[in-house]
A and B are shown apart, each in its own frame.
Chain A
Amino acid sequence: MRFRVLAIVAVAYTVGAQLAFVVFDADSIVVLFLPAGVTLSALLLRPRRDWPWILLTVAVLEVLIDVGHGLAPLSALGFAAANTAEPLTGALLVRRAVPGPIDLAQRRHLLAFLAFGVVAGPAVGALIGGTTIALDADRGWFSSFLPFWAGDATGALTVAGTVLTWRRSALPRAATAVLVTVAVTTVGFWPQHLPLFYLPIPLLFWLGFTQPLAVTMPAGLAMTVAANTLTGAGRGPWAALDGPIELKTATLQLFLAVAVLGACFLTVGVTERDRAVGAAHQLQQALLPAVGPQLPGIRVSAGYRPADLTHHVGGDWYDVFAAPDGRIGFAVGDVVGHNLAAAAAMARLQSALRVLAQTAAGPAEVLAGLDRASAVIDGAHMCTVAYADYHPPTRRLRYACAGHPPPLLLTPQGPEFLWEGRSMPLAIEPGPRPCAEHEIPTGAHLILYTDGLVERRGESLHAGLNRLAGTATTAAGQPGTDLTRSLLNRIPHGGPAIDDAVILHLIFEGASAPH
């Protein structure tokens, strides 16, 4: 394994260094030094015991390549020292900050990589390498230091960034991104007196926004290599610039590094947001009970449809459980807000409701109890709940709605909304709550839902309710149709669903006709 790694490092380092000499022409304004990233990533990915071997390989190669290109042996030793001290410094510091596996999509990891691997390490390399150049080529020290630093920093950022985020599964997308990026960069860096060099930036940012770093980083590397290759060939605005060579060099690398960094930061931001939303979605899904066939006298199915906006997390819930005296209790609720806090408030209300239903005399008392409970539950203010219980032997349904849209009852006589037992949402004003009763015929359906199912912008809620009644009647009349699914799939918005929605669907069976 170690020899394979050393072979890969040797080949990649040699190719990169030759590229620096031949294509980028080490004497010209281009100083991009890709091997800086090869050594850095090798050290970061391998255990410490491999480091001496990696550094020794790099040092020997550096001397051989330099001497091969006609440099004095002493200068070659200077560059060898620079190109080993640099990744060693970077890797030691990065490893102090991030001991475990490195994930550049995490803010802390990325910042450590940038501060130590991209800025500090190459600064050390440039101290040694710049001094070597200054002594060897009799140039000013600063005009030797600055290009060395910029070239190594950009090489470390793009190559080590690509290696550290490498994922085989992203390879096809990464290859496409690289091809497109090279094409766009070529267009941007072809004309000399037409400033188009910024053309790859929107592409890179779009990748950063939509793709993992395993796609964005190779694209950034491709842009860097393409831009430097074209500039080295005398194309593009930097080749045509007047002014001190070290400033041109540094600003070209700075431009490229800034573009790649911008894309990285976008990815980190998106990843952090998605992590939070993912956690909230998981919590919400975990809180919705699995609805099984174990309750007597009814068949239950339920469904949840999240809003299409990915950062939108709902506070909608449903629940079905056994209540005292052989009753079955069921609830649907909607907490104001769309974040983790809303999901947490929903969880607390759901538990409170289950507990209250075990002792309360009926739905009105359950809601009155929830009113009191919600005073001490953050985020429960203005929550709407529909709670009902059903007693199979007497076929009596008792229900109460706190600010919640009315349950829909489907009987052979047609659809009917249960408009009684209404009161305002939770935790607004204490006081008794009304409750209503209804006798349920055999084979009737009852549908409880949240407003995301019926609300449409610029339209009366009544229109949404009528639509629901129509769809539900049709679906219930077709045996074998999954009513929950067909209601949830019929998005009432004509566009993306802006609110999440839950449905609880009950079919009341005959007392002596179990299914």
Chain B
Amino acid sequence: MKIVRDRDGDAVRVALTGELDLASSDDVRSCLEEALAETRPARLLVDMDGVAFCDSTGIEALILARQAAVAQGTRLELVNVHGIARTTLEITGVLRLFS
């Protein structure tokens, strides 16, 4: 999993590339929580354009990061969600949490 963070106006964008699964979910979660703690942005955009696959542990990582965001007043949004990752998030009913 490749994780790139940059500024996007008043938002912080974290772009994920690779498979969001058991092997990468801990990394993703800690990167997102780090970005939240260090930058405290109004919005944290998680760019899912490069995410080819997402399983339940990946979803859990996103949800836990979202809870950390809500706790400090940041909105965490998923952008460019498509393909298998989108289907998985839709079927599990969590996609609407992130838009």
Chain A residues in contact with chain B, CB under 8 A?
334, 336, 381-382, 384, 401-406, 422-425, 428-429, 451, 455, 457-462
| Bound CA–CA A457/B23 (angstroms) | 13
The 6 lowest CB-CB distance pairs between A and B, nearest first, are A424-B93, A403-B92, A382-B60, A424-B94, A460-B84, A403-B93
Determine the distance from Cα of A457 to Cα of B63 in the docked complex, in whole angstroms: 21
Instruction: Point out the residues of chain B lying under 8 angstroms from A384, CB to CB.
Output: 56, 92
CA distance A429 to B59 in the complex (A): 14
- For the complex formed, measure the closest distance between the CB of A423 and the CB atoms of chain B, giving whole angstroms: 5
Looking at the assembled complex, report how far the CB atom of B27 sits from the nearest CB atom of chain A, in whole angstroms.
Answer: 17
Q: Is the CB of A425 within 8 A of B94?
A: yes
Is there contact, CB below 8 Å, between B94 and A428?
yes
Distance, CA A382 to CA B56, complexed state (A) = 8
Task: Tell me if B97 is interfacial: C-beta within 8 Å of chain A.
Answer: yes
Docked-complex contact A461 and B88, CB < 8 angstroms: yes
17 A-B contacts (beta carbon < 8 Å): A382-B59, A384-B92, A401-B93, A402-B93, A403-B92, A423-B93, A424-B92, A424-B93, A424-B97, A425-B92, A425-B94, A428-B97, A429-B97, A459-B84, A460-B87, A461-B91, A462-B87
Q: Known pairs A424-B97, A458-B52; list 6 more (Cβ under 8 Å).
A: A382-B60, A402-B93, A403-B94, A455-B55, A460-B87, A461-B88
Do residues B63 and A382 form an inter-chain contact, with CB atoms below 8 A?
A: yes
Contact B97 A336 (CB under 8 A): no
Bound together, the chains give a CA A401 to CA B52 distance in angstroms of 25
Q: In the assembly, what is the distance between CA of A384 and CA of B88, in Å?
A: 13
Which of B52, B53, B59 counts the most A-chain CB atoms under 10 A from its CB? B59
Q: How many B residues touch A, CB cutoff 8 Å? A: 18
Q: Which residue on B lies nearest to A403, using beta carbons?
A: B92
Interface residues of B, dominant DSSP: helix
Q: Is chain A's binding surface mostly helix, strand, loop or mixed?
A: loop
Residues of chain A lying within 8 A (CB to CB) of residue B57: 336
A178 to chain B, nearest CB (A): 41
CA distance A406 to B91 in the complex (A): 8
- Nearest opposing residue in chain B for A384, CB measure: B92
Q: Which residue from chain B places its CB closest to the CB of A338 in the assembled complex?
A: B22
Q: Is B73 on the interface with A (CB-CB < 8 A)? A: no
The CA-CA distance from A175 to B91 in the complex, in Å, is 56
Q: How far is the CA of A406 from the CA of B93 in the complex (A)?
A: 11
Q: Which of B60, B87, B88, B96 contacts A381 (CB 8 A)?
A: B60
Contact with A along B33-65 (1 / 0, CB 8 A): 000000000000000000011011101100100
Give residues in B with beta carbon < 8 Å to A.
52-53, 55-57, 59-60, 63, 83-84, 87-88, 91-94, 96-97
Tell me, in angstroms, the Cα distance from A413 to B88 when the chains sit together.
27
Q: Given A336-B60, A382-B59, A428-B63, verify A457-B94 contact (CB < 8 Å).
A: no
Cα–Cα, bound, A329→B8 (Å)? 50
Q: Could you tell me the distance in whole angstroms from the C-beta of B18 to the nearest C-beta in chain A?
A: 12
Q: How far is the CB of A457 from chain B (nearest CB, A)?
A: 7
Residues of chain B lying within 8 A (CB to CB) of residue A457: 53
CB-CB under 8 A from A404, the residues of chain B are: 92
Contacts of B87 in A (CB 8 A): 460-462
Which residues of the other chain, B, contact A459 by a CB distance below 8 angstroms?
84
CB nearest neighbor in A for B60:
A382
- Closest chain B CB from A435 CB (angstroms): 13
A406 to B90, alpha carbons, bound, how many Å?
12
In the bound complex, CA of A334 to CA of B91 (Å): 14
Given contacts A336-B56, A382-B56, A382-B59, contact A422 B93 (CB under 8 A): yes
Quote the shortest CB–CB distance from A44 to chain B (angstroms): 45
- Write the nearest CB–CB distance from B94 to chain A, whole angstroms: 5
Q: With the chains together, A461 CA to B63 CA distance in Å?
A: 20
Cα distance A381–B61 in the bound complex, in angstroms: 11
A460 and B83 contact, CB distance less than 8 A: yes
A466 to chain B, nearest CB (A): 12
Contacts of A423 in B (CB 8 A): 93
What's the nearest-Cβ distance from chain A to residue B60, in Å?
A: 5
Bound-state CA distance A508–B96 (Å) is 35
- Closest Cβ of chain A to B97, distance in Å, is 7
Please name all residues of chain A whose beta carbon is closer than 8 Å to the beta carbon of B97 when the two chains form the complex: 424, 428-429
Q: List chain A residues, Cβ under 8 A from B84.
A: 458-461
Which chain A residues lie closer than 8 Å to B96 at the CB level?
A: 424
| Complexed CA–CA distance, A382 and B59 (Å) | 9
B91 engages A405 (CB within 8 Å): yes
Closest chain A residue, CB of each to CB of B67: A428
Bound Cα distance from A406 to B92, whole angstroms: 10
A166–B37 Cα distance when bound, in Å, is 59
In angstroms, Cα B55 to Cα A458, docked, is 10
Alpha-carbon separation in the docked complex, A406 to B87 (Å): 13
Q: How far is the CB of B25 from chain A (nearest CB, A)?
A: 10
With A423-B93, A424-B94, A425-B92 in contact, is A458–B53 under 8 Å at CB? yes
Q: Shortest CB–CB separation between residue B66 and chain A, in angstroms? A: 9
A-side contacts of B92, CB under 8 Å: 384, 403-404, 424-425
Q: Which of B53, B56, B94 contacts A451 (CB 8 A)?
A: B56
A382 to chain B: closest residue by CB: B60
Closest A residue, CB atoms, query B93:
A424
Given the complex, which residues of A lie within 8 Å of B83, measured CB to CB?
A: 460
